[in-house]
């Protein structure tokens, strides 16, 4: 019997559809008056954009483009999510069965490898001050322009009486993300096209692209088919999803300088092409988005923009053969989603529970001429990283700690066919984009030179991506919002 359809009217819109956005503001808050908050929620809930609403919005955007109408469709979509501290504050004591969520990201930061200081047993991450405080929840508004988002956020603040004597919440901080200007609007700040590869969700994504793996909804939505923790979770958690938020600063001039100073030397490549190749091998895709597994030595922008082809690859038997000629084992996209390195058609379950749906947005200005000249960051910029999964322990937390930070991964990784055996004389190394050093040691990656896969390249002491805040949240279903969070 076919699985029952997902109730898209009950699932918040960012989880499955993704809020359409040119700009997005995350408004982090504390609940200051529980009774008033619950009353205000009743007024707020109709503003929450559902996954069904997003499907409609996306159709409107398509129609707008099809008719070649000028500008963007005006829109502002709102979602809401709560931290463990927020649930506690509201008297919701059910265990959602995810220890990262219950711990909270500030206390998890040491395990994630975030920089910080240790005083006795207490680790304090080197985060922006507001993220060191308790955060109960986040309301986020995405839209076509600042004016649309401001207007919507003002309406929402008004509902909760923010800034007045009858307020039920207070602002902890807010951060704004903006997509970059054209022609790099879909690219993150290091210059690489982003948002290409997300899993398709059964019963939601009707026509997955070739190579886009379909996963059961329970890997993203609590208590749906595939959620291994379903039995331990309260009924109201159904159709909610955990949101990991990370405030990630990117050291762009320093990254560029590293590529420029360490071009891969190959016959026929100019110095500039050698630098571009190093960047591509660190990420696993060219800046255009073309996967190096398919087009290892030369960018292919046509391949990149074709969604029928830009995800249609796996890593063949290169891991078994210890062969990094096409794609280094430590390339960012291979570390964070090793595709068939860990799965084989019968073993797909080994990796499905590690899938996350990414929904980030860039923040901060373009690199200035001065920064480019100084090879040094003077203005904060980076990624408001956001992702969803039905478990943070199995998703973000695991990917960061056990894959990106682990120089040995995928060696020894457990699969149903047994652990991945050691590679002959090769330690794959760090994910040079997000890998963080835990304890001592130097940060190296192997296999950056396709002609000489055993040489290691040492990364600078200063990471290219620096976490400066974050929290773990749960985005409840609409029915849960109504029954547990409103009165």
Neighbour count for residue 158 (Cβ, 10 Å): 13
Residue in 325, 283, 474, 302 with CA at minimum distance from that of residue 388: 474
Which residue from 21, 136, 152, 332 is in contact with ligand HEM, where contact means CB under 6 A? 332
One of 98, 114, 144, 194 is an active-site residue; which one? 194
Nearer to ligand HEM, 470 or 476 (CB): 470
Binding window for ligand HEM (CB under 6 A); candidates: 160-168, 203-211, 362-370, 382-390: 382-390
Q: Is 105 in the site for ligand HEM (CB under 6 A)?
A: no
Binding to ligand HEM (CB under 6 A) within 446-465 occurs at 465
Task: Please work out, in degrees rounded to the nearest 5, the angle formed at the alpha carbon of residue 104 by the alpha carbons of 101 and 110.
Answer: 120
Strand partners, 358: 387
Q: Is 192 in the site for ligand HEM (CB under 6 A)?
A: yes
Residue number with the shortest CB distance to ligand HEM? Answer: 197
| Pair type for strands 214-215 and 116-119 | unpaired
Asked if 29 contacts 139 with a C-beta cutoff of 8 angstroms, the reply is yes
Q: Is 468 in the site for ligand HEM (CB under 6 A)?
A: no
Alpha helices (H) along 13-145: 13-16, 34-44, 51-66, 84-89, 99-103, 105-112, 129-132
Which residue from 82, 140, 190, 315 is in contact with ligand HEM, where contact means CB under 6 A? 190
Minimum distance from CB of 402 to ligand HEM (Å)?
A: 11
Alpha helices (H) along 146-270: 146-159, 252-261
Cα 41 from Cα 487, distance rounded (Å): 8
Cα 137 from Cα 139, distance rounded (Å): 7
Binding window for ligand HEM (CB under 6 A); candidates: 9-17, 47-55, 86-94, 377-385: 377-385
Minimum distance from CB of 178 to ligand HEM (Å)?
A: 15
Tokens of 251: 């050291």
Binding window for ligand HEM (CB under 6 A); candidates: 32-40, 232-240, 243-251, 369-377: 243-251
Strand partners, 101: none
| Residue 374 annotated in active site | no
Minimum distance from CB of 2 to ligand HEM (Å)?
A: 27
Q: Is 250 in the site for ligand HEM (CB under 6 A)?
A: yes
HEC string of 437-483 equals CCCCCCCEEECCCCCCCCCEEECCCCCCEEEEEEEEEEECCHHHHHH
3-state helix, strand, coil in the chain (%, to 5): 30, 20, 50
Which residue from 40, 100, 102, 197 is in contact with ligand HEM, where contact means CB under 6 A? 197
- Binding string, residues 429-448; x marks residues near ligand HEM by CB under 6 A: ----xx--------------
Report the SS3 class of residue 11: coil
Residue in 54, 336, 356, 360 with CA at minimum distance from that of residue 220: 356
Cα 113 from Cα 268, distance rounded (Å): 40
Asked if 1 contacts 225 with a C-beta cutoff of 8 angstroms, the reply is no
- Binding string, residues 135-174; x marks residues near ligand HEM by CB under 6 A: ----------------------------------------
Binding window for ligand HEM (CB under 6 A); candidates: 214-222, 312-320, 331-339, 367-375: 331-339
The site for ligand HEM, by CB under 6 A, has a size of 28
Nearer to ligand HEM, 152 or 358 (CB): 358
Which residue from 144, 194, 239, 393 is in contact with ligand HEM, where contact means CB under 6 A? 194
- Binding string, residues 260-299; x marks residues near ligand HEM by CB under 6 A: -----------------------x-x--------------
Task: Give the residue numbers marked as catalytic.
Answer: 194
Instruction: List residues binding ligand HEM (CB under 6 A).
Output: 188, 190, 192, 194-197, 246, 248, 250, 283, 285, 332-333, 336-337, 356, 358, 382-383, 385, 396, 399-400, 404, 433-434, 465
């Amino acid at each position: 019997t076919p699985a029952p359809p997902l109730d898209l009217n009950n699932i918040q819109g960012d989880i499955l559809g993704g809020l359409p956005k040119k700009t997005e503001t995350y408004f982090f808050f504390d609940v200051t008056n529980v009774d008033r908050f619950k009353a205000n929620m009743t007024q707020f809930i109709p503003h929450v954009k559902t996954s069904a609403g997003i499907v409609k919005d996306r159709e409107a955007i398509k129609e707008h483009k099809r008719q070649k109408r000028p500008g963007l469709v005006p829109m502002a979509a709102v979602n809401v999510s709560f931290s463990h501290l927020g649930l506690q504050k509201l008297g919701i004591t059910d265990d959602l069965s995810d220890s990262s969520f219950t711990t909270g990201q500030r206390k998890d930061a040491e395990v994630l490898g975030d920089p910080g200081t240790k005083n006795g047993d207490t680790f304090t991450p080197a985060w922006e001050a507001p993220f060191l405080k308790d955060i109960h929840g986040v309301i986020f508004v995405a839209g076509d322009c600042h004016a649309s988002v401001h207007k919507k956020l003002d309406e929402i603040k008004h509902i909760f009486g923010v800034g007045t004597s009858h307020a039920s919440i207070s602002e902890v901080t807010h951060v704004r993300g903006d997509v970059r200007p054209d022609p790099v609007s879909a690219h993150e700040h290091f210059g690489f096209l982003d948002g290409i590869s997300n899993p398709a969700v059964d019963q939601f994504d009707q026509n997955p692209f070739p190579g886009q793996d379909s996963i059961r909804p329970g890997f993203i939505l609590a208590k749906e088919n595939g959620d291994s923790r379903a039995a331990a979770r309260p009924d109201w958690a159904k159709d909610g999803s955990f949101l990991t938020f990370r405030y990630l600063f990117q050291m762009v001039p320093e990254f560029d300088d590293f590529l420029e100073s360490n071009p891969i030397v190959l016959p026929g490549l100019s110095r500039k092409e050698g630098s571009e190749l190093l960047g591509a091998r660190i990420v696993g895709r060219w800046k255009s988005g073309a996967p190096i597994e398919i087009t290892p030595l030369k960018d292919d922008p046509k391949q990149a923009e074709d969604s029928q082809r830009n995800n249609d690859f796996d890593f063949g038997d290169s891991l078994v053969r210890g062969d990094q000629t096409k794609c280094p084992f430590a390339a960012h996209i291979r570390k964070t989603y090793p595709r068939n390195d860990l799965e084989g058609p019968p073993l797909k379950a080994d990796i499905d529970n590690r899938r996350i749906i990414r929904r980030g947005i860039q923040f901060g200005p373009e690199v200035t001429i001065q920064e480019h000249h100084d090879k040094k960051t003077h203005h904060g910029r980076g990624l408001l990283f956001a992702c969803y999964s039905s478990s943070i322990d199995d998703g973000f937390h695991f990917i960061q700690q056990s894959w990106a930070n682990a120089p040995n991964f995928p060696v020894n990784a457990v699969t149903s066919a047994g652990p991945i055996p050691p590679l002959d004389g090769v330690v794959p190394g760090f994910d040079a984009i997000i890998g963080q050093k835990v304890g001592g040691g130097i940060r190296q990656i192997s296999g950056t030179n396709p002609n000489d896969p055993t040489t290691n390249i040492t990364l600078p002491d200063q990471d290219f991506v620096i976490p400066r805040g974050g929290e773990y949240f749960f985005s409840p279903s609409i029915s849960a919002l109504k029954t547990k969070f409103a009165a």
